Amino acid sequence: MPTALITGANRGLGLELARSIAAEGWQVHSCCRMPDKAPELRATADAADGRIQVHRLDVTDDLQVRSLARSLEGKPLDLLFNNAGIYGPRDGFGSQDFEAWSKVLAINLMAPMRMVENFVELVAASQHKLIVNMSSRLGSISENDAGGGYPYRSSKAALNMVTRGLSVDLAPRGITVVSVHPGWVQTDMGGSDAALTVADSVAGLRRVMEKLTPEDSGRFFDHSGAELPW
Ligand SMILES: NC(=O)c1ccc[n+]([C@@H]2O[C@H](COP(=O)([O-])OP(=O)(O)OC[C@H]3O[C@@H](n4cnc5c(N)ncnc54)[C@H](OP(=O)(O)O)[C@@H]3O)[C@@H](O)[C@H]2O)c1
């Protein structure tokens, strides 16, 4: 049975990814910061006939990441989905909160790398060997003609660079690494005016993942399968 690990799986896109991947018969390690405060994830896990395991994981906590990786040792991981993310401060030019910006980088940029470094052996031992970093179109440098959003945009642009670097470093091990943009989605982050439902976005992302080949490694796709410019 293929296995996935998803971060930030207690709400929004992460929760729906866990639900829908488990519904296809996969085993899913669903990670969240506070399992005891994640009633939707717990209910989803209860309805999944043992295919969803819930794990406590703050992706910025090195000890927690290392101990989860150790507890899964010997269990191949077909898909590592780095989904957890925050938008951070929305202040424009001239009023940056640099401490808050650091937190955005810790969660959106450095945590995915920490996850990959800790789980790479399990991914390498799997059949699918896929790592997906949840990026955003707002991280596209060439598409930025609106300015603003410095913390979030810079975190996702840098995450894209991490994707690209990993695609080179992990190619010899047969691991495919991509960045994806889920569309503008109705979640706590995307807001209720967003264009896409969580279900439609995740259905699209899953279609994209199903078609990926090693030749796609180091590329950036949206939920419709269109390739995005860096
Ligand atoms: N929605 C959109 O339109 C959109 C567009 C482009 C990209 N994205 C990306 O999609 C991903 C998911 O976003 P979403 O829209 O589903 O947002 P969301 O509903 O706000 O969910 C964010 C998730 O990330 C988790 N998280 C935050 N900090 C964490 C940490 N330190 N450790 C572990 N988990 C942490 C949250 O957990 P808690 O509940 O514990 O805070 C939550 O589960 C993000 O990477 C986001 O940047 C979203």
pLDDT tens, residue by residue, 14-35: 999 999 999 999 999 999 999 9
Residue to substitute in 11, 62, 110, 114 for testing ligand 1 pocket (most ligand atoms within 8 angstroms of CB): 11
pLDDT at 91 over 90: no
Those residues with Cβ within 8 angstroms of residue 108's Cβ, 6 or more apart along the chain or in another chain:
85, 86, 152, 155, 156, 159
Residue to substitute in 15, 19, 86, 103 for testing ligand 1 pocket (most ligand atoms within 8 angstroms of CB): 86
Taking the C-alpha atoms of residue 78 and residue 175, their distance in angstroms, rounded to an integer, is 10
Structural domains of the chain ordered from first start? 3-222 (3.40.50.720)
Please report, for residues 79, 101, 130, 173, the alpha-carbon distance to residue 4 in angstroms, rounded to integers and kept in the order given: 5, 30, 9, 18
Nearest to 112 by CA among 177, 206, 181, 202: 177
- 42-51 confidence digits (pLDDT tens): 999 999 999 9
- 162-204 confidence digits (pLDDT tens): 999 999 999 999 999 999 999 999 999 999 999 999 999 999 9
Count CA atoms within 13 Å of residue 109 on its CB side. Answer: 21
- Ligand 1 geometric centre to CA of 129 (Å): 23
Does the annotation count 150 as an active-site position? Answer: yes
Burial class (CB in 10 A: 0-12, 13-18, 19+), 106: middle
- 206-223: buried (b, 16+ CB within 10 Å) or exposed (e) per residue? bebbeebeeebbbbbbbb
